[in-house]
Each structure stands twice: as structure tokens, then as C-alpha cells.
Structure 1
Amino acid sequence: MEEAQSNAVPLMLPIRLLQFTALCFYAQNTVQSPPNFKHHVTEQSRLSDRTSRRLTRTYQLYSRTSGKHVQVLSNKRINANGEDGAANAKLEVETDSFGSRVRIRGVKSGYYICMNKRGKLIGKKKGRGKDCIFTEIVLENNYTALQNAKYEGWYMAFTRKGRPRKASKTKQHQREAHFMKRLPRGHLLSERRPFDVLPLSVLPLSKRTKHSHQHRSVGR
């Protein structure tokens, strides 16, 4: 009897080892991984926010290539030939989600900047479709690229003459797709509150050098 029990002990060791291995494997696969917040933010940024209060801003879009501003005309055409402070160059930018998706409407004309399936910029009275939504992408050179929400990989872009470039031929790194946000002439001093600090990108070009020198002298 004792001999039978002594023979059973070596046989139980492999069984216990297999049970322990299976338990460890089960524990590793049942532990939940931490939530991927970056993925959640990306997914939520793709959705239109219908419940939150929309943030509306008014500024101009300075084109890096034409040296002038994007404007929305009353005939639904869009170009980048607007002068600083021109009525058609004043844009009302409305947030669409908690991310960086926006709708851009000409203040004077009332038309939204949209993009059709051929990659052409057009003006529309109602800008609720994804073709009228753009994602703001801040680049390393401090310029902003505007990618269409419906046609991903297609960007708002203009030639040196201020004419819209076909979006299917645009890339994020191209100068034609680079813009800088600027407040309209006269808007800065009249609507600024005490102690407001404005990003350098929205200051008038004539004030940026002075603004930079002031900040450097304060830091000394």
C-alpha cells in the first residue's frame, strides 16, 4: 500500500504543474488592459457634437503662397486674394466637435466653404455635411493645414495667384495648403480684454516683431 502511494506522488507532479500553468495563462488573459484614451479621442473627434455649445471665432486665413487672405464671395466662389481687413475675408469659424473639426463661413456672403467630389472648393448656404467640415492640423512650422472631413487626404489649397488648387493633388507638406490665422485689421485692439494673451499666429504681421521683442525683454 505504501509502495503504491509513493509511486502516485511522482505522477501527480506533472498534473499539478499543468494546472498551475493553465491558471497563470488564464490570469494573464483575463486582466483588462488600460483604456486607450488616444484612440478614444481620435474616434470622438470624427463625430459631430450635437449637444455641446459651439465655439465661434472670427478671423482671417492668411495664405502662405498668395500672401493674401481666403475670401468667400457672394457668387459662391472662393479664392485667396482678400486684402487685410476686407469684408469678404472675414471668416466665422464654428467648432463641430470637441476636437479640431470646424466649419468656415464667410461673414459677409453667408456661404460655407465646402468641397465637392472633384476636389473643388464651393460655397454652400447650409454647411452641415461632412464636405463642409475641415480638420485643423497645426504643423511644425506653426502654419495650419485644413483637411476635409469627408475626403480625407484632401486639403484646402491655393496657388500663388490665389486660385483654389484641386484637392486631389494636395499634400499636407505643400506650401499651397499652409495658412495662418490672423485677426482682421482693427479687430485686435477693439475686442481685446485686459491681460488677454493672444497667440503670435493671430497677431497682425506688422505687430509680430514688436510683440516678440517685448516678450524677450520681459524675460530678461
Structure 2
Amino acid sequence: MIEPMIAPSILSADFARLADAADSVERADWLHVDVMDYHFVPNLTIGLPVVRSLHAATDLPLDCHLMIEDPDRWAPAYAEAGAANVTFHIEAAKDPVATARAIRAAGALAGLSIKPATELDPYLDVLREFDTLLVMTVEPGFGGQEFMAEVLPKVRRAREEVRSGHLRLFIEVDGGIDADTIEAAAAAGADVFVAGSAVFSADDPGAAVEALRARARRAMPG
């Protein structure tokens, strides 16, 4: 059985205390870092300097989600800065295969993200070059949005491709993941779960991570 992975999103943490936030979720699997440029999405967050500082401050693997224009140019630098997984959007990329290969050459896993309205099937062949598929379960740009269950067929489709041996990758979901929604995402076939406010708004973020992992584990197909 696949073991679920929890990736708390620091978008919901106190930006003045990111190292402390990372320490509070030391039992997580990845630390999710949302990079937004105010162009691809209407929000501005953090960039390379913060990723470098986080890499020095925590042993958690950094899961960088680039919601930016021109990821072909910028994505490899996040791998060089210490990210363990660098994900960019197919909607913004000009040459996703070359960018994935550059990320891998720089020492990180390569991830491809799709927005809720983007179909999966046209990119199944491209995904052979990737280690992670990130299915957005909200519109990218802001935390705290409501989970969109209507995108779960894409998760199921990706899991079918993995089970058949056509793909080998993590299937990650991001957006609105909490105790009420994680089981549906897990049952559909996701194995990496990004959770922001469900973790960092809890009295004990570490315990929240464990509780989410337990819920996902119960719901995952045998």
C-alpha cells in the first residue's frame, strides 16, 4: 500500500517565523512552498532568497510550487537553491520537457501542475518526463479556498496510468485539503496532500499533520 505524504503549505504560516513554522511540522513529509509572481496568478509571495534560507533552516524536503510566468527560465534555479521537488504549471511553460530535464539535472524532482480547468489527457505522454503531477483542487493564487471535488476524475485518471505502469510519479493535490476533504482526494488516488490552514491554524500543527495522514491512509485504495 502507498503511504500518504503530507506537505504543509507555508502560505498559511506566519511569514515572520517561517523557521519556527517548519520546526512545528517536523513530522511532515515535505514542506510546501508557494512561489507566486503577481503575473501568472494575482498574488505575490516569496522567491529564491527565502527558499535558500528555508533550505538552511530545516531538514524537511522543500516542495516548491512555482505559480509564475516563464518557468522554463526560473525553475532550475529553485533546484539549485535546495528544493527537493520543483513543480511548474503546464499553462505557463514553453518547453516543459526541457525544463523538467533541467530541474532533474540540478538535483531535484520535477513536477508538473495543472489548473482546475486544464485537461489531463493531452499531457499524459509529457508526464513520462516528470516525477510529480500536482492537480490543483482550487484556482491557484490564494490559500483558504473551497475544495473543488469536480477535479478528482483527473486524479483517478492519473492513478490509473500509474497502476498500469504507463507513469511513475507522485500524484499531489493542493487546495482546500483538510480533515473533511482529504479522504475524497485519497480515495481518488492522490498520495501527496498539500494542507495549509488545516495545519498551521491548528493548536498543534504537528498533531494536525499526523491526523491528516491517518485520514488519508484509511481512505486510500488497498
The higher radius of gyration belongs to: 1
Greater per-residue strand proportion: 1
TM-score by length of 1: 0.25
Q: What's the TM-score, normalizing by structure 2?
A: 0.25
